[in-house]
């Protein structure tokens, strides 16, 4: 039976390692005392059950690391992690596997204890559900807002940091970072700075999937000439919102049919903000498309000020991307105007 104890010891270690990763997410990433306590208690219950049945010394003696035929075997999926959500689900999988394995092999020793472990396995499903709700909050924030600020700085400098301080003071709910004319390292530093200073903001990165993944962004926005949507979705799975630019009805249908999270429709009006934006589609067509495809989540973009925003939002467009009307001139005054017009459902957390 020493080999059975070896299996139990391995899975107890696997359980503790996985639960530690999950507990740290609740404690340091989400700052949630209740879920931190729940995960600590759950971890303690599982380990204490086993310690009552087995002396830890017995389990330690059963180890044979030198003869472990699986210690050098790993898959690519075990190495790659895309954001904290991916880290959670990978470790939740380890925890469930460990509990189930211990539950089965305990039947050789103690059927009653095996039943208690089975109950703990079902308790963990509830912890897993609660964690999924934590991650889903970001999506809920995004879809509940009317204004989508798109920040397009030319450099990661003091001016950039001053703008982020303003956005932080106003507790901006959603923000896209678009930096077309800077090198990768500068873009990365800028995105990392925003992620640190605005941890509760839904941060969308324009175009650069590598940067979005590396700094733990909440979403990625791609255009027609960027990395194909299917490849982006393959890379991020469900860990990020994925938005795609569409300039006409054909493109709008194409991307919603494959399951994008939102469409950036435009440019609706003539704009100088984006050099490659193309010819404006016009207000009337944008409204017609929003009415026709009312089940889609459409973000209007291109030449929109807050007066135009009111009309578009009242006509079926779900959200408005604000670029120059927010970030040109006095940003604080611009934000105050948007807050006066749209209230908390506009730009604030």
In the predicted model, what is the mean pLDDT of residues 114-119? Answer: 90
Task: List Cβ neighbours of 237 (8 Å cut-off, separation of 6 or more).
Answer: 82, 86
pLDDT at 323 over 70: yes
Let me know whether 123 and 223 are in one domain: no
Per-residue model confidence (pLDDT) at position 63 = 59
E strand or H helix that includes residue 142: helix 111-143
Structural domain for 43, as ranges: 2-136
pLDDT at 185 over 60: yes
Looking at residue 348, the DSSP 8-state letter turns out to be B
Domain containing 317 — which CATH number? Answer: 3.20.20.70
- Are 244 and 219 in contact by the 8 Å Cβ rule? The answer is no
Residue whose structure tokens are 């590396």: 214
Say whether 300 sits in a helix, a strand or coil: strand
Domain boundary among 120, 136, 152: 136
Domain boundary among 108, 136, 164: 136
Let me know whether 173 and 241 are in one domain: yes
Domain count, the chain: 2
Cα(first)–Cα(last) distance of the chain, in Å? 57
Let me know whether 100 and 191 are in one domain: no
In the predicted model, what is the mean pLDDT of residues 264-270? Answer: 93
Indicate the average pLDDT of the chain.
Answer: 86
In the predicted model, what is the mean pLDDT of residues 227-251? Answer: 86
Let me know whether 156 and 185 are in one domain: yes
pLDDT at 214 over 90: no
> Residues 58-112: pLDDT tens digits?
555 655 555 554 545 455 444 555 567 778 888 999 999 999 998 998 888 888 8
Let me know whether 154 and 132 are in one domain: no
Let me know whether 247 and 273 are in one domain: yes
The string of DSSP codes covering 181-242 is TS-HHHHHHHHHHHHHH-TTSEEEEES-HHHHHHHT-SEEEE-TTSS-HHHHHHHHTTSSEE
Instruction: Give the pLDDT band of residue 301 (cuts 50, 70, 90).
Output: very high
Let me know whether 111 and 180 are in one domain: no
> Residues 189-207: pLDDT tens digits?
999 999 989 988 999 999 9
Let me know whether 172 and 243 are in one domain: yes
Q: What is the distance of C-alpha 227 from the center of its chain? A: 19
Per-residue model confidence (pLDDT) at position 251 = 92
Let me know whether 158 and 304 are in one domain: yes
What count of Cα atoms within 13 Å lies in the side-chain half-sphere of residue 186?
14
How many residues make up the chain in this entry?
A: 349
Let me know whether 193 and 122 are in one domain: no
State the pTM of this model.
Answer: 0.67
Let me know whether 38 and 70 are in one domain: yes
Let me know whether 129 and 189 are in one domain: no
Per-residue model confidence (pLDDT) at position 165 = 97
pLDDT at 283 over 90: yes
Instruction: Give the pLDDT band of residue 27 (cuts 50, 70, 90).
Output: confident
Domain boundary among 90, 115, 136: 136
């Amino acid at each position: 039976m020493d080999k059975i104890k070896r299996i139990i010891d391995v899975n107890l270690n696997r359980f503790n390692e996985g639960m530690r990763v999950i507990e740290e997410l609740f404690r340091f990433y989400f700052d949630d005392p209740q879920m931190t306590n729940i995960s600590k208690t759950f971890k303690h219950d599982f380990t204490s059950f086993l310690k009552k049945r087995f002396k830890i010394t017995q389990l330690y003696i059963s180890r044979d690391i030198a003869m472990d035929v699986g210690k050098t075997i790993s898959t690519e999926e075990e190495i790659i992690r895309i954001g904290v959500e991916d880290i959670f689900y990978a470790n939740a999988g380890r925890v469930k596997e460990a509990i189930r394995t211990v539950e089965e092999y305990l039947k050789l020793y103690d059927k009653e204890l095996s039943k208690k472990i089975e109950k703990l396995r079902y308790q963990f499903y509830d912890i897993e559900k609660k964690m999924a709700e934590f991650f889903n909050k970001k999506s809920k924030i995004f879809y509940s807002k009317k204004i989508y600020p798109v920040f397009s700085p030319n450099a990661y400098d003091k001016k950039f940091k001053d703008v982020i301080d303003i956005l932080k003071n106003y507790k901006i709910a959603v923000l896209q970072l678009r930096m077309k004319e800077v090198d990768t390292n500068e873009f990365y530093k800028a995105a990392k700075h925003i992620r640190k200073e605005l941890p509760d903001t839904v941060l969308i990165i324009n175009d650069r999937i590598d940067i979005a993944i590396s700094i733990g962004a909440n979403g990625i926005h791609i255009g027609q000439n960027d990395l194909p949507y299917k490849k982006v979705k393959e890379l991020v799975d469900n860990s990020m919102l994925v938005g795609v630019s569409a300039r006409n009805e054909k493109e709008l249908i194409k991307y919603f049919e494959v399951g994008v999270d939102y469409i950036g429709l435009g440019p609706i009006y003539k704009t100088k903000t984006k050099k490659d934006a193309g010819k404006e589609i016009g207000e009337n067509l944008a409204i017609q498309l929003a009415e026709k495809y009312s089940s889609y989540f459409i973000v209007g973009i291109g030449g929109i000020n807050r007066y135009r925003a009111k009309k578009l939002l009242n006509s079926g467009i779900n959200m408005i991307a604000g670029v120059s009307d927010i970030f040109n001139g006095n940003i604080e005054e611009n934000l105050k105007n948007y807050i006066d017009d749209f209230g908390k459902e506009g730009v604030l957390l």
